Amino acid sequence: MNFRPCIDLHQGKVKQIVGETLNERNENVIENFVSTYDSTYYASMFKKDRLTGGHVIMLGDGNQEAAVQALKEYPQGLQIGGGITAENASFYLEQGASHVIVTSYIFHNGELDEERLQKIVQEVGKDRLVIDLSCKKKDDKWFVVTNKWTQFSNFEITQSSIKEMEKYCDEFLIHAVDVEGKRSGIQEDLVKQLADWVSIPTTYAGGARSIDDLEAFYRITNGKLDITIGSSLDIFGGDLSYRDVITYCKDK
Q: Residue 232 has what DSSP assignment?
A: T
pLDDT confidence band for 182 (50 / 70 / 90): confident
Residues 187-237 pLDDT 10s: 999 999 999 999 999 999 999 999 999 999 999 999 999 999 998 999 999
The count of structural domains within the chain is: 1
Q: Specify the pLDDT at position 31.
A: 81
Percent above pLDDT 70 for the chain: 96
1 assigned to some structural domain: no
Contacts of 94 (CB under 8 A, 6+ apart): none
Q: Residue 1 has what DSSP assignment?
A: -
Instruction: Specify the higher pLDDT residue, 10 or 24.
Output: 10
Name which of 211, 79, 190 is nearest 138 in CA terms: 190
CA angle 174–206–177, rounded 5-degree value: 70
Range of the domain at 89: 6-251
Q: Specify the pLDDT at position 86.
A: 98
Q: Residue 28 pLDDT > 70, yes or no?
A: no
Q: Residue 20 pLDDT > 90, yes or no?
A: no
Q: Residue 244 pLDDT > 80, yes or no?
A: yes
Q: Specify the pLDDT at position 173.
A: 98
* C-alpha–C-alpha distance, residues 194 and 203, integer Å: 10
Q: Residue 25 pLDDT > 60, yes or no?
A: no
**CATH number of the domain encompassing residue 102:** 3.20.20.70
User: Maximum Cα–Cα distance for the chain, whole Å?
Assistant: 44
Name which of 238, 210, 236, 239 is nearest 8 in CA terms: 236
Q: Specify the pLDDT at position 19.
A: 54
Q: Specify the pLDDT at position 77.
A: 98
